[in-house]
Amino acid sequence: ALMRDVLGLSNEEMRGAFSSWNKGRLESYLIEITEDILGEKDEEGKYIVDYVLDKAMQKGTGKWTVISALEQGEPVSLITEAVYARVLSSMKEERVKAAKLLKRKQGTANKEEVLPQLEKALYAAKIISYAQGFSLLKSASDSYQWELNLGAIASIWRGGCIIRSAFLDDIKKAYDEEENLKNLMVAPHFHQVLKEAAEGLRKALVLGIQHGVAMPALSAALSYYDGYHTEHLPANLLQAQRDYFGAHMFERTDKAEGEYFHHNWSGEGGDTASTIYKV
């Protein structure tokens, strides 16, 4: 939507952008077929993508991944948002009515300036999504004693599947160098490229937000990236709220990890505390 509605690009212009990206670090199966789809015409010379109804269906693999992630306590937020975006797209009649109630900001942006930022945004988001996916695999492997070889898995996917991507080679190298790598984002190679690419992600999101363009997966990518790299999150306030309304207890910064405390916030709750349940 950013390319079509804000930059005002035609199908051929968008196809050209994806073609260019597929020759660089974004080379992947999904970028490749997006180029093909944008250029495909019917027997009357009409672009097929223009008359495909904007209601995305699903078989369930995304939902199952999200359920597994919740069970493992792993924030696989990009896939989660992608699943929800499909669900939202299915509400076509509601969206048509709601769209009439909201006037969006008009105007276009400079494509020569924005397209390089979009390339960076896609690259950053892809890396972050793979980082989440491999983190989930590692968590499941530890939980179920699967002893997965994550580097070998990257090589298998590189050989051919819908998530085939050129930087799977870099993922394999990262796990070859550090078998127990906690997260791909902190591997030296990906740490360096993300510092540059994440700035493009920020700029793309700012532009989309200013024009009322929904970008759930890209937004989730940046939130995860920033959250993961933040030493002190405001979750202390969240946990204090949980202890206030449900006596769910909290750990203290001045005590050993694993010790739990309850505070009588209202002066009326007494010393009763809930049990601890960790996902």
Domain boundaries, the chain: 2-228, 236-279
Stretch 133-149: mean pLDDT: 97
**Range 2-228: architecture per CATH:** Orthogonal Bundle (1.10)
Confidence at residue 30, expressed as pLDDT on a 0 to 100 scale:
94
Supply the pLDDT for residue 274. Answer: 82
Tell me if domain 2-228 and domain 236-279 are identical in fold: no
Q: What is the mean pLDDT of the chain?
A: 94
pLDDT of amino acid 251: 96
Instruction: Please say if the pLDDT value at position 26 is more than 80.
Output: yes
Q: Look at residue 163 and tell me whether its pLDDT is greater than 90.
A: no
| Lowest-confidence region among 22-31, 154-163, 232-241 | 154-163
* CATH of segment(s) 236-279: 1.20.5.320
Q: pTM surpassing 0.95? A: no
- Is pLDDT at 160 greater than 80 in this prediction? no
The pair phi, psi for residue 165, each rounded to 5°, is -155, 150
Give the list of residues 6+ apart from residue 25 with CB closer than 8 angstroms, or none. Answer: 123, 166, 167
Residue 126's pLDDT band (boundaries 50, 70, 90)? very high
Contacts with 65 (C-beta within 8 Å, 6 or more apart), sequence order: 76, 79, 136
* pLDDT at position 150: 96
Distance CA 159, CA 175 (A): 17
What was the pLDDT predicted at 279?
A: 65
Query: Could you give the CA distance from residue 108 to residue 2 in angstroms, rounded to a whole number?
Result: 10
Q: Where are the alpha helices (DSSP H) in 40-76?
A: 61-72
